[in-house]
């Protein structure tokens, strides 16, 4: 093995990173600023660029570099990059290049059609695109191979090490615990009054408050920005350019404020990856579950806590409309934490949130395994929402069309939201052993929290696998009891049971 091979490998990594950044920038533009009529042409461009990435990842040069470098590299970053490149090569080489390009083009078109279908409440407009996306994902899963469930092959793209067997063991435990908590909450004599949060709240003021909180969290606006979109997301173009988007609702500030903090948690992860990993595939979150653990940590464990509002309520009122000025914190805090099963996932309270994920997990698992078809989704969706949450959508835009994920072909992604919540609970418990988290939040001292997360999670990027990080940080495997204990403790206090 020569240094020339290592240099050639790193040059391939840089080329790949350049294309990926260009694709990311176009994706951000399409979801925020691009005119609607640009979708068709942009889809073709993204297809070409994505094929270039695929070509690099599956090239003879890449295979040669992997073969020569594997087991012969001392530098830990290069060693891990080679491992990542080999995994990607093995996976992508199984997909014909033209088929991959056609799929990427379809993804981009489908996302644009989904946005229009959602706006028009027209599932049939989106249905043929979704059917094609599902068929591609079934085929890709067969290309990659699996042991028990076809869906496992897709789960592996987002949460390596987690399988249907794991989820089918963990999710029912959480569902049972949440169901029991919901019963106690519904029968409690105390009920928060959400009407105290009503009133017109200009989005300009919501944005100003959100920007202040992002800065206090440690989000670097010189390496990012905040924009408006139909479906909130964060996107890391590179370590020095990590962007946040949000959705404003002038009748309910919670959508934007908590949504922005959530996306800010994602962004902090990517802004604080070790610079040594830049221009390699390692400069990214290790899994979507670990990524979600960071966003949910900030949104729920920090921003929905009583200590957060004790510190930030006066600041909030300086941006809030008149009706909040005489509202005591004792009524505000329970109101923002009201438990009320709802239709929309991104607006769900933190207790029922996981139930939304379980609806989606069970549907897409059945889709990929061939047990149900796309045409059946609206009816099945509505029934599961009623079974799990006791609510039934009266239109598909509030039901099966509400999420962007399927339009992008992101099958296997949804479980990561619930897994992230479990990871966050374990991280929170461990952090409590080392620093006084509650005191930090109440004092508005977020630096210690951010530094702990950077030291234990952020800096590693993809240097460690998700379950490796969980075990290294907490000393144990995935354990849903931490989430159950956290939610039980919090809502016992709020609902007095």
Q: Is residue 153 part of a domain?
A: no
478: tokens are 């995935």
Determine the Cα–Cα distance for residues 236 and 242; give it in Å rounded to an integer. 4
Determine the Cα–Cα distance for residues 196 and 248; give it in Å rounded to an integer. 19
Contact 225, 264 (CB under 8 A): no
Binned at pLDDT 50, 70 and 90, residue 252 comes out as: very high
The yes-or-no verdict on residue 162 having pLDDT over 60 is yes
123-139: average pLDDT: 98
Specify whether 183 is located in the same domain as 48: no
Q: What is the pLDDT of residues 45-69, one digit of tens each?
A: 988 999 899 999 999 999 999 999 9
Residue-wise over 129-145: b if at least 16 C-beta within 10 A, else e? bbebbbebbbebbeebe
284: tokens are 């990214």
3-state secondary structure the chain: CCHHHHHHHHHHHHHHHHHHHHHHHHHHHHHHCCCHHHHHHHHHHHHHHHHHHHHHHCCHHHHHHHHHHCCCCCCHHHHHHHHHHHHHHHHHCCCCHHHHHHHHHHHHHHHHHHHHHHHHCCHHHHHHHHHHHHHHHHHHHHHHCCCCCHHHHHHHHHCCCCCHHHHHHHHHHHHHHHHHHHHHHHHCCCCCCHHHHCCCCCHHHHHHHHHHHHHHHCCCHHHCCEEECCCCCEEEEECCEEEEEECCCCCCCHHHHHHHHHHHHHHHHHHCCCHHHCCCCCCCCCCHHHHHHHHHHHHHHHCCCHHHHHHHHHHHHHHCCHHHCCCCHHHHHHHHCCCCCCCCHHHCCCCCHHHHHHHHHHHHHHHHCCCCCHHHHHHHHHHHHHHHHCCCCCCHHHCCCCCCHHHHCCCCCCHHHHHHHHHHHHHHHHHHHHCCHHHHHHCCCHHHHHHHHHHHCHHHCCCCCHHHHHHHHHCCCCCCHHHHHHHHHHHHHHHCC
23: tokens are 């694709």
Beta bridge partners of 236: 242
The count of structural domains within the chain is: 2
Contact 12, 78 (CB under 8 A): no
Q: What is the pLDDT of residues 295-324, one digit of tens each?
A: 999 999 999 999 999 999 999 999 999 999
Determine the Cα–Cα distance for residues 69 and 85; give it in Å rounded to an integer. 11
Q: Is residue 313 part of a domain?
A: yes
The candidate with the shortest Cα–Cα distance to 63, out of 14, 4, 8, 103, is: 8
What pTM was computed for the model? 0.91
Separation in Å, CA 258 to CA 26, 210, 298:
26, 9, 9
Sheet holding 226-228, edge to edge: 226-228, 241-246, 234-238
pLDDT value of residue 346: 83
Q: Is residue 295 part of a domain?
A: yes
Specify whether 109 is located in the same domain as 248: no
pLDDT value of residue 1: 52
pLDDT value of residue 97: 83
Specify whether 126 is located in the same domain as 210: no
pLDDT value of residue 231: 81
Specify whether 126 is located in the same domain as 187: no
Specify whether 210 is located in the same domain as 337: yes
Contact 358, 372 (CB under 8 A): no
The yes-or-no verdict on residue 433 having pLDDT over 70 is yes
Specify whether 104 is located in the same domain as 194: no
- Asked which of 108, 132, 156 is the last residue of a domain, the reply is 132
Q: Is residue 148 part of a domain?
A: no
Is 292 labelled a binding residue? yes
Q: Is residue 350 part of a domain?
A: yes
Specify whether 198 is located in the same domain as 71: no
Determine the Cα–Cα distance for residues 358 and 414; give it in Å rounded to an integer. 8
Cα-only R_g, the chain: 23
Binned at pLDDT 50, 70 and 90, residue 436 comes out as: very high
The yes-or-no verdict on residue 125 having pLDDT over 90 is yes
The yes-or-no verdict on residue 43 having pLDDT over 90 is no
Q: What are phi and psi of 273, to 5 degrees?
A: -70, 145
pLDDT value of residue 230: 84
Q: To 10 degrees, what angle do helices 97-120 and 3-32 make?
A: 20
Specify whether 114 is located in the same domain as 182: no
455-473: average pLDDT: 97
CATH number of the domain that residue 336 is part of: 1.10.1370.30
pLDDT value of residue 347: 82
Is 266 labelled a binding residue? yes
119 is catalytic: no
Specify whether 115 is located in the same domain as 171: no
Range of the domain at 32: 3-132
Catalytic residue, from 6, 263, 350, 362: name it: 263
Which contacts (CB < 8 Å, 24+ apart) does range 6-12 have?
6/69, 6/73, 6/75, 6/78, 8/61, 8/65, 9/62, 9/65, 9/66, 9/69, 9/78, 9/81, 9/82, 9/85, 10/78, 10/81, 10/279, 10/280, 12/56, 12/59, 12/61, 12/62, 12/65
Q: What is the pLDDT of residues 235-251, one digit of tens each?
A: 999 999 999 999 999 99
349: tokens are 């309270």
Specify whether 172 is located in the same domain as 28: no
Q: Is residue 139 part of a domain?
A: no
The candidate with the shortest Cα–Cα distance to 367, out of 52, 133, 78, is: 133
Specify whether 123 is located in the same domain as 190: no
Task: Write down the residue that tokens 């940590």 correspond to.
Answer: 297
99-113, 326-340, 359-373, 427-441, range with the lowest pLDDT: 99-113
Specify whether 110 is located in the same domain as 176: no
pLDDT value of residue 36: 84
The candidate with the shortest Cα–Cα distance to 249, out of 198, 284, 212, is: 198
The yes-or-no verdict on residue 40 having pLDDT over 90 is no
- Asked which of 110, 132, 154 is the last residue of a domain, the reply is 132
Q: Is 278 exposed, middle or buried (0-12, 13-18, 19+ CB in 10 A)?
A: middle
């Amino acid at each position: 093995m020569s240094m020339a091979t290592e240099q050639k490998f790193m040059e391939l990594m840089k080329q790949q990173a350049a294309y990926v950044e260009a694709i990311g920038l176009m994706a951000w533009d399409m979801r925020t600023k691009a005119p609607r009529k640009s979708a068709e042409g942009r889809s073709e461009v993204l297809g070409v660029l994505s094929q270039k990435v695929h070509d690099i990842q599956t090239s003879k040069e890449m295979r040669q570099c992997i073969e020569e470098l594997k087991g012969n590299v001392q530098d830990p970053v290069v060693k891990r990059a080679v491992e990542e490149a080999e995994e990607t090569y093995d996976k992508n080489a199984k997909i014909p290049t033209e088929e991959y390009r056609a799929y990427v083009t379809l993804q981009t078109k489908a996302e644009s059609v989904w946005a229009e279908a959602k706006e028009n409440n027209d599932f049939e407009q989106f249905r043929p695109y979704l059917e094609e996306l599902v068929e591609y994902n079934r085929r890709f899963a067969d290309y990659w191979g699996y042991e028990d469930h076809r869906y496992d092959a897709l789960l592996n793209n987002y949460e390596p090490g987690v399988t249907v067997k794991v989820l089918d063991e963990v999710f029912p435990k959480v569902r049972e615990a949440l169901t029991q908590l919901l019963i106690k909450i519904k029968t409690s004599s105390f009920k928060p009054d959400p009407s105290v949060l009503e009133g017109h709240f200009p989005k300009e003021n919501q944005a100003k408050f959100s920007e202040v909180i992002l800065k206090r969290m440690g989000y670097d606006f010189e390496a990012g920005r905040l924009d408006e979109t139909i479906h909130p997301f964060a996107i890391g173009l590179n370590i020095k350019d990590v962007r946040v988007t949000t959705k404003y609702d002038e009748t309910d500030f919670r959508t934007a404020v908590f949504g922005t903090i959530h996306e800010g948690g994602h962004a902090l992860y990517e802004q604080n990856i070790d610079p040594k990993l830049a221009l390699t595939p390692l400069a990214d979150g290790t899994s979507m579950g670990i990524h979600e653990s960071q966003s949910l940590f900030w949104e729920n464990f920090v921003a929905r806590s009583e200590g957060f509002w004790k510190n930030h309520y006066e600041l909030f009122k300086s941006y809030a409309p008149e009706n909040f000025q005489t509202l005591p914190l004792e009524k505000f805090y329970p109101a923002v934490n009201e438990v009320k099963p709802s239709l929309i996932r991104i607006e769900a309270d933190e207790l029922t949130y996981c139930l939304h994920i379980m609806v989606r997990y069970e549907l897409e698992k059945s889709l990929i395994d061939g047990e149900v078809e796309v045409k059946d989704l609206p009816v099945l969706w509505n029934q599961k929402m009623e079974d799990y949450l006791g609510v039934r959508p009266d239109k598909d835009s509030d039901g099966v069309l509400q999420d962007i994920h399927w339009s992008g072909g992101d099958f296997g992604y949804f479980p990561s939201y619930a897994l992230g919540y479990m990871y966050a609970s374990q991280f929170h418990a461990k952090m409590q052993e080392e620093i006084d988290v509650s005191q930090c939040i109440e004092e508005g001292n977020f630096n210690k929290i951010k530094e702990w997360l950077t030291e234990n999670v952020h800096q590693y990027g993809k240097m460690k696998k998700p379950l490796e990080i969980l075990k290294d940080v907490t000393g144990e495997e995935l354990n849903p009891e931490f989430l159950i204990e956290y939610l039980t403790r919090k809502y016992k206090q709020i609902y007095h049971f």
